[in-house]
Structure 1
Amino acid sequence: MSTLQLSLAAIGALTVGAVVVYNAWTSRKHAPRQADPRREILREPVSHAIEPVLDIDPAANGQTDQPQEPVLRDTFTHLSQPDRKAQLDALIDALAAIEVDLPVSGDAALAALPSTRRVGTKLFSVEGFVQDTGQWEVLTPGRRYSAFQAGVQLVNRVGALNNIEFSEFVVKTQAFADAVGGSVNFSDMIEEVTRARELDQFASVHDAQLSFTLCARFAAWSPGYIHQHAAQLGFVPGSIPGRMVLPAAVQGLPPVLSLSFDTHAAMAEDPNQSAIRSFALSLDVPQTSREEQPYARLRDAALTLSAQMDGVVTDGAGQVLSEATLDQIGADLQQLYDALDARELSAGSSQARRLFS
């Protein structure tokens, strides 16, 4: 073989080698970033995290669930039990008083309840009055009650109580009263439906579910990579694949924040090969007390994760969110909190959690 042929062969080999190396480098560069195996990744869901549906269209009155904007900081290690007392409230429920001649056992009252605790799309509840304590409470076996009250929720994110639902409430309450030997006094249907519509109007204007979208600048992320970075900020796996939550300080309450990405990527046969280019951080504003500083933690989480994961924080339309925009969102939320407080529906209260559900 001549010198020229040897030279051409060598050049060809070098070219092929260079192409192979370049392709390998390109493939490695664009492969999903993987979690550091030296760090522990939380994988098991936690039972104390309640996951609400997140959204951010105040004008939609909860008819649709669509995320808006997020961040986080502190985590909580002490978890206490939520309040288990009765929750019926004339502010957000239509109530019916049930009188009985003789005390009724909790077991008998429970047996008299309808098979479903819903009236249309609204929550139906019955509570008993304990004469010894002078308190209303959720019906409990072994107790004796000297009176009852039934209630149907006026409004939720599906809409306001209507005439048909109120009529169903009357039927179910009367059946319960007959079963426990009581007499029932109902409020006026027209008044309650009118009150429900007014409350629904308020709720539709003051509902907010924020969601920030974090987008990868260059290399995509694997599910494990997202889990690992989010876990460092206190997020734990949620009840469905592709979802993580930041638990509230009180066990049983909705999480402060949620993180979600493509469920199919999380359930892939080999998740390490799933390429995720964005995920959402979300805050359901009325569900979380302002004392938890949820927006500050949402903003902090978004900025921290974007910096650590080489991403950018955007809104749902893909527009990058500036510091000034984030400040304005925070200021607007403070006004919303004040409006909820003034209506005695403070964010995170049991009434607000029921109303905005």
Structure 2
Amino acid sequence: MSTLQIGLAIIGGLVLAGVVAYNAWITRHSAPRLARERSTHPPGDPSGDETVPYSPEDLEGTEIQRIDPVLGDMPGVMRPDPAAIAVAAAAVSVNPLLNQPEKRPGLDALIDVITPLVLDHEVSGDALLAALPGTRRVGSKPFAVEGLCDASGEWETPRLGQRYRALQAGVQLANRAGALNDIEFSEFVVKAQAFADAVGAAPEFPDMRAEVARGRELDAFASGHDAQLGFTLRARRAAWSPGYVAQHAAKLGFVAGALPGRMVLSGSQMGQAPVLSLVFDPQAAMAEDPEQSALREVALSLEVTHVPRSEQPFVRMRQTAMALAEAMDGIVTDDAGQPLSTDTMDGIGADLESLYDALDSRDLSAGSAQARRLFS
């Protein structure tokens, strides 16, 4: 073999080695970033920075909550579709403790049609439960029956073993499906009358036209003050794995939701709606090997009407978005992909304060039982 041939062979080998090394570098840097094991080593010790698959035990013992989002009219905000207000949910498979369910809010004249059911004798909770209709809805509106408990003196959903000296039935005036209409009111009358007949009570129905008009007015107010604020976190360079996102979110207090692709930040009070939701592709979370799934974006959302102002939800949302973007090398944008500037976020915060004031003025403060029922 001549010197020329030997030289060409060496050059060819070097070129081939370079191509292999380049391809390996590209593959490594384009792969989704993985969750890192919680290190027990001192800060700065490189032995504590080993990349490992995400472990569900990292979040064990935490709490799960669920919400369904609402929509509004601000930058980064969408309007609601009553026929399809559902989101993909819950990030990682964990086995946390569930919150105790919140006591069901009672009927309220502010948002319900309430019909007294006059009794001439006490009735048992057993009899009332047996007489309740099979479905607790009137059209698209919730239907409810309450009794005045003889033991506690409070209105409540009938319970076994209790006795009641007064009853009332109600139907909600409005929700995200719209205002109570004539057909729904008539259905309410039929359902409440049948129940009253079964327990020996006499219903006193209000005027249909007045109640339907109240429902329309309430729906008009709700439509103008229903909002969900959404930020999108987009990867600048390398994609993220579901475990990578979950681990960074967990450091900020998020826990896994009930469905794949959703994490929530719990409120300070038991039974309160989550302050924030973090949502990403549920298919990536349910993949056979989630750590090989690539996420280019995740959504951070706030259901404004469901979270009390005292929780400072927008301040926390803004801080959370910035912290995640910095930690994961991402950028915060609106749903159209436009980066959100400081001035834009300041403007959104001011608009939210006006929204809170308007809700307070109608005794429908964000996070209250009435607001959560109305905006659902």
Gaps of 5+ in 2: 40-54, 87-97
Match of residue 166, structure 1, among 166, 178, 185: 185
Q: Distance in 2 between matches of 1:150 and 1:296?
A: 41
Q: Distance in 1 between matches of 2:148 and 2:105?
A: 10
Counterpart in the other structure of 2:311:
292
Match of residue 318, structure 1, among 319, 326, 337: 337
Counterpart in the other structure of 2:7:
7
Identity %: 59
Amino acid at match of 1:210: L
1:1-357 aligned within 5 A: 1-38=1-38, 42=58, 48-57=64-73, 60=79, 63=82, 84=103, 87-357=106-376
User: Residue 353 of structure 1 aligns to a residue in which SS?
Assistant: helix
CA spacing shift, 1:48–1:219, aligned 2, 3 Å: closer
Amino acid at match of 2:21: V
User: Residue 224 of structure 2 aligns to a residue in which SS?
Assistant: helix
Q: Distance in 1 between matches of 2:99 and 2:309?
A: 18
CA spacing shift, 1:315–1:264, aligned 2, 3 Å: same
May I ask how many residue pairs the two structures share in their alignment?
Answer: 346
Counterpart in the other structure of 2:95:
none
> 8 Å contact 1:33–1:220 — kept in the other structure?
yes
Counterpart in the other structure of 1:73:
none
The offset of 1:38, in angstroms, is: 3.4
> 8 Å contact 1:213–1:280 — kept in the other structure?
yes
Q: Distance in 1 between matches of 2:374 and 2:291?
A: 41
The offset of 1:271, in angstroms, is: 1.0
The offset of 1:135, in angstroms, is: 2.0
CA spacing shift, 1:239–1:48, aligned 2, 3 Å: closer
Amino acid at match of 1:29: H
Give the RMSD, CA atoms, in angstroms.
2.1
Q: Distance in 2 between matches of 1:83 and 1:11?
A: 73
1:155-189, Cα deviation, whole Å (9 max, x unpaired): 11111111111111111111111111000000111
Amino acid at match of 2:240: W
Q: Distance in 1 between matches of 2:136 and 2:173?
A: 14
Q: Distance in 2 between matches of 1:86 and 1:296?
A: 28
CA spacing shift, 1:45–1:260, aligned 2, 3 Å: farther
Gaps of 5+ in 1: 68-78
Counterpart in the other structure of 2:92:
none
TM superposition score normalised by structure 1? 0.92
The offset of 1:273, in angstroms, is: 1.2
Q: Which has the higher contact order (CA 8 A, sep 6+)?
A: 1
The offset of 1:57, in angstroms, is: 4.3
1:89-118, Cα deviation, whole Å (9 max, x unpaired): 000001110011110011111111111111
TM superposition score normalised by structure 2? 0.87
